[in-house]
Amino acid sequence: MTNPILAPWSTPFEIAPFSQISDADFEPALDAALAEHQAEIAAIAECAEPPSFANTVAAMEAAGEALSKVLSVFFTVAGADSNPEREDLQRRFSPRLAAHFAEISSNKALYARLADLWARRDDLDLSDEDARVLMLTHRGFVRAGAALEGADEARMKEIKGRLASLGTAFTQNLLADERDWFMELAETDLDGLPDFVVDAARAAGAEKGAPGPVVTLSRSLIVPFLQFSTRRDLREQAYRAWAARGANGGETDNREIAAEILALRDERAKLLGYDTFARYKLETEMAGTPQAVRDLLMAVWTPARAQADRDAEALTALMRDDGVNGVLEPWDWRFYAEQRRKAEHDLDEAALKPYLSLERMIEAAFACATRLFGLEFTPLDVPLYHPDCRAWEVTRDGAHVAVFIGDYFARGSKRSGAWCSAMRAQAKFPKVQAPVVINVCNFAKGDPALLSYDDARTLFHEFGHALHQMLSDVTYDSISGTSVARDFVELPSQLYEHWLEVPQVLRDFATHVDTGAPMPAEMLDKVLKAANFDMGFQTVEYVASALVDLEFHDGQVPADPMARQAQVLGDLGMPHAIGMRHATPHFAHVFAGDGYSSGYYSYMWSEVMDADAFAAFEEAGDAFDPDTARALETHILSAGGRAEAEALYVAFRGRLPGVEALLKGRGLVAA
């Protein structure tokens, strides 16, 4: 029988036929796809004709279709709906894939063809897009070590394989810690918890097979528990478990893995002639150098820490009013910040959440895309990999644009966080293909599901990434959608968050889940005024993580990453009551793979741009100004990686922004 992953997909819009695929199909499909891709690459490398863009670069772009199908399906389910068999497959696939791609990047005959084309690039009469793809392909080979010889070449292959295995182990250890820990709550332990938190805890208990409500390490459950529970002892227990993910000793401890990853990355960079991994990694980003990143982060850190210190004094006073002595602890901050928010803004999240149902927030995200870009969303009834998933066809003027899939609820089989990926990227070569894009979130399940304001912002953020994928209009898969510099990729996502705060959007879609009544005007006003509430805390926990990431990779490799983390935080004067957003043992952005290594700063680099980009709509006098929206789509959302990020932004805005817009947007300086 033909493997259903490799067979032609006759499903609507050629969505992966999940209902026909079993875990037993993945390994034979990968075996066949790897062999096919190897043969395709060998044919290109051994081509008897002189190198041309068509027979080398374009041919490489066309190769690997079967492999792309296998990997898109497997890594979707491995991240969002894992099980022991998939985890075992992932552990075995990771080094094989690393070896496969290392073999391609070290293929001397293939590299010689690329080098020949690069040397003759001015005589090839290439289109701008073709020239860009040639540059990126050649540069990618050089940075992967294609020019290495002998022992250095062999060592680079070993490093890549080992890093792939370590990244998988880091991810699976973190998933195990998050999946296995939960704290059962007796009815007397529910003091202070609003109904939506109790409902989410009961749903989590049912999923865990517990007799009653539980707190898990899902952010959408543990954060509101820390906000509302009056039981300081239980808040401490929950927070300590949350902070200890990946650092509990035993088989799932990530600390030694992190140390080995850092050492291997440093060795990899030095093999390629760079002083540090950060210098290697940042060379191709907008920031360019570690010092540029450090300058940005410190420009934000100083006012953010000052604000956090002032806030800590106010929260400590509230704690004293409760009769609690001692210092303000990390498990106290969210609880007393919530009390302060109620007092200063008269805004109660328990009263707010019924106006932020998941259904209405999905509608809001879609409606903004309709007004800005003319997109329409129609539900699709197709089998997907989990019953919680939903799909929509995306059209414009009646023409098919994309398929969008949403997987919104937390579960034990899903890794933490939220992300967007393209199961199939937009491309026009070797054939025209429309994208299939997925947003994965970890919202607390309920009936109905209610979001916090932060959850709603996450939904808009990930949908901004999805728009970058869906509106892509380039020729080649390799520069499609979010295939851009890491510190540019967050611009569309963070920019889209601004539309959640457009008053008309909240008036239209923030309606009560039971009555359908719009959010009262006074509550809407409070929500908007409180948008920057506790921004000192939010900024400090983020910037601390970004600076630790940078210092890990720029300088002497730490033998003990936890000691180095403590040293960096001590030098910064990290407030006692604020923890890093992602401490080293659970810093998946940095250690699950190379994507955000030396690059966690990129959210803030992009925020400098997103604050300035939204100002373009404000200057036009309309958050949905059609000319500005058209320019945004033309120069950024549809452009993928067909030009340097700086050039794309300048084409949209006419200039690059400074950090001032970010500081004003976060309320850290006077507007």
Q: What are phi and psi of 449, to 5 degrees?
A: -80, 125
Strands (E) in 287-331, as ranges, are none
d(CA 617, CA 630) in angstroms, rounded, equals 11
What's the number of domains the chain is made of?
A: 4
Compare 407 and 348 and report the one with higher pLDDT: 407
* DSSP count for the chain of H helices, then E strands: 27, 7
DSSP string for residues in 142-204: HHHTTT--HHHHHHHHHHHHHHHHHHHHHHHHHHHHHHH-EEE--GGG-TT--HHHHHHHHHH
**Residue 31 belongs to some domain of the structure:** yes
pLDDT at position 658: 87
Query: What would the mean pLDDT of 78-96 be, rounded to a whole number?
Result: 97
23 and 129 share one domain:
yes
83 and 229 share one domain:
no
Long-range pairs of 198-205 with CB within 8 A, sequence gap ≥ 24 = 199/446, 199/447, 200/224, 200/444, 200/445, 200/446, 201/225, 203/444, 203/445, 203/446, 204/410, 204/444
Domain boundary among 191, 215, 245: 245
**Residue 609 belongs to some domain of the structure:** yes
d(CA 26, CA 11) in angstroms, rounded, equals 19
Name the H helices within 434-560. 453-470, 486-497, 503-509, 521-529, 535-553
pLDDT at position 639: 98
200 and 257 share one domain:
no
DSSP state for residue 558 in the 8-state scheme: P
433 in Cβ contact with 424 (< 8 Å): yes
**Structural domain range at position 186:** 181-245
653 in Cβ contact with 537 (< 8 Å): no
The one-letter amino acid at 276: T
482 and 454 share one domain:
yes
pLDDT level of residue 483 (50, 70, 90 thresholds): very high
289 and 368 share one domain:
no
pLDDT at position 1: 65
**Residue 166 belongs to some domain of the structure:** no
- Asked whether residue 671 carries a pLDDT value surpassing 60, the answer given is no
pTM of this structure: 0.94
Check if 462 is active-site: yes
Query: Which residues does residue 215 pair with via DSSP β-bridges, in sequence order?
Result: 183
pLDDT at position 670: 60
Domain boundary among 600, 616, 651: 600
**Residue 293 belongs to some domain of the structure:** yes
Q: What are phi and psi of 435, to 5 degrees?
A: -75, 150
CATH number at residue 276: 1.10.1370.10
Of the candidates 535, 369, 375, the one whose C-alpha atom is nearest the C-alpha of residue 460 is 369
Domain boundary among 212, 245, 278: 245
The pLDDT tens digits for 275-314 are 999 999 999 999 999 999 999 999 999 999 999 999 999 9
Q: Which residue is catalytic, options 285, 462, 497, 551?
A: 462
594 and 647 share one domain:
no
580's tokens: 């890093």
**Residue 557 belongs to some domain of the structure:** yes
Q: At 427, is the secondary structure helix, strand, or coil?
A: strand
Question: Could you tell me which residues come within 8 angstroms of residue 525 by beta carbon, excluding any fewer than 6 positions away?
Answer: none
16 and 134 share one domain:
yes
36 and 142 share one domain:
yes
586 and 613 share one domain:
no
